[in-house]
Structure 1
Amino acid sequence: MIVITTPTGRIGRRLLGTVLDAGAPVRVIVRDAARLPAEVRDRAEVVEGSHGDLDVVTKAFAGADTVFWLAPPDHRAASLDDVYSGFARPACEAFVREGVQRVVGVSALGRGVLPNAGHVTATLAMDDLIADTGVHYRALTLPTFMDNMLTQVESIKNQGVFFSPISGDRKMPTCAVRDIADAAAKLLLDPSWTGRGDVPLLGPEDLSQNDMARIMSEVLGRPVRYQWVSIDAFKASMLERGVSEAYTQGLADMAVAKNNGLDNAEPRTPQSTTPTTFRTWCEDVLKPAVLG
Structure 2
Amino acid sequence: MNREAARTTVVVGATSEVGAEVSARLAGAGHTVRGVARRLGVALDDQAALDAAFAGADSAYVMIPFDVTAPDLHCFEDEVGARLASSIAKAGLNRVVLLSGLNAHLRMGTSLGAALMEERLAALGLEELVCLRASFFMENFVKGMGFVEQAASGVFATPFRGDLPMPLIAAKDIGERAAALLDAKGASGQRVVELHGGGYHTLEQATAILGRAIGKDVAYYAAPFADARAGMIANGLSASFADALGETAASFNKGERWALEVPSVANATPTSFEAWAENFARVGNAA
Same fold, TM-score > 0.5, yes or no: yes
* CA deviation string 1:5-52 (max 9, x = no partner): 11111211222111111111111122123xxxxxxxxxxxxxx22134
Contact preservation (8 Å) 1:78, 1:244: yes
CA distance in 2, matches of 1:156, 1:10: 23
* CA deviation string 1:128-153 (max 9, x = no partner): 01121112211110121011111324
Give the corresponding residue for 1:37.
Answer: none
Give the corresponding residue for 2:122.
Answer: 131
Contact preservation (8 Å) 1:19, 1:189: yes
Unpaired runs of 5+ residues, structure 2, are: 1-7
Q: Does 1:62 align with 2:69?
A: no
Query: Secondary structure at the residue paired with 1:185?
Result: helix
Q: Does 1:274 align with 2:269?
A: yes
Unpaired runs of 5+ residues, structure 1, are: 34-47
Contact preservation (8 Å) 2:102, 2:194: yes
CA distance in 2, matches of 1:29, 1:57: 8
Give the corresponding residue for 2:142.
Answer: 150
Identity of aligned residues (%): 26
Cα distance change on mapping 1:155 and 1:161 into 2, 3 Å: farther
Which residue among 246, 253, 260 is the counterpart of 2:240? 246
CA distance in 1, matches of 2:220, 2:29: 41
Amino acid at match of 1:127: E
Contact preservation (8 Å) 2:67, 2:73: no
Q: Does 1:211 align with 2:218?
A: no
Larger displacement relative to structure 2 (50-59 or 95-104): 50-59
CA distance in 2, matches of 1:259, 1:143: 16
Q: Does 1:224 align with 2:218?
A: yes
Amino acid at match of 2:13: T
TM-score by length of 2: 0.88
Cα distance change on mapping 1:287 and 1:231 into 2, 3 Å: farther
Cα distance change on mapping 1:67 and 1:205 into 2, 3 Å: same
TM-score by length of 1: 0.87
Give the corresponding residue for 1:10.
Answer: 17
Contact preservation (8 Å) 2:14, 2:20: yes
Give the corresponding residue for 2:76.
Answer: 83
Contact preservation (8 Å) 1:137, 1:194: no
Cα distance change on mapping 1:246 and 1:140 into 2, 3 Å: same
CA distance in 2, matches of 1:100, 1:213: 43
CA drift at 1:176: 0.7
Larger displacement relative to structure 2 (19-28 or 261-270): 261-270
CA distance in 2, matches of 1:163, 1:140: 29
Query: Secondary structure at the residue paired with 2:264?
Result: coil
Amino acid at match of 1:144: F
Give the corresponding residue for 1:39.
Answer: none
CA drift at 1:270: 1.2
Larger displacement relative to structure 2 (263-272 or 207-216): 263-272
Q: Does 1:94 align with 2:79?
A: no
Contact preservation (8 Å) 1:153, 1:290: no
Question: Aligned residues, how many?
Answer: 276
Query: Secondary structure at the residue paired with 1:173?
Result: strand
CA drift at 1:282: 0.5
Give the corresponding residue for 2:4.
Answer: none
Contact preservation (8 Å) 1:72, 1:83: no
Cα distance change on mapping 1:86 and 1:58 into 2, 3 Å: same
Contact preservation (8 Å) 2:104, 2:114: no
Larger displacement relative to structure 2 (69-78 or 194-203): 194-203
C-alpha RMSD of the superposition: 2.0
Cα distance change on mapping 1:156 and 1:247 into 2, 3 Å: closer
Contact preservation (8 Å) 1:173, 1:263: no
* CA deviation string 1:67-102 (max 9, x = no partner): 111112212323333232321112211212111111
CA distance in 1, matches of 2:251, 2:151: 29
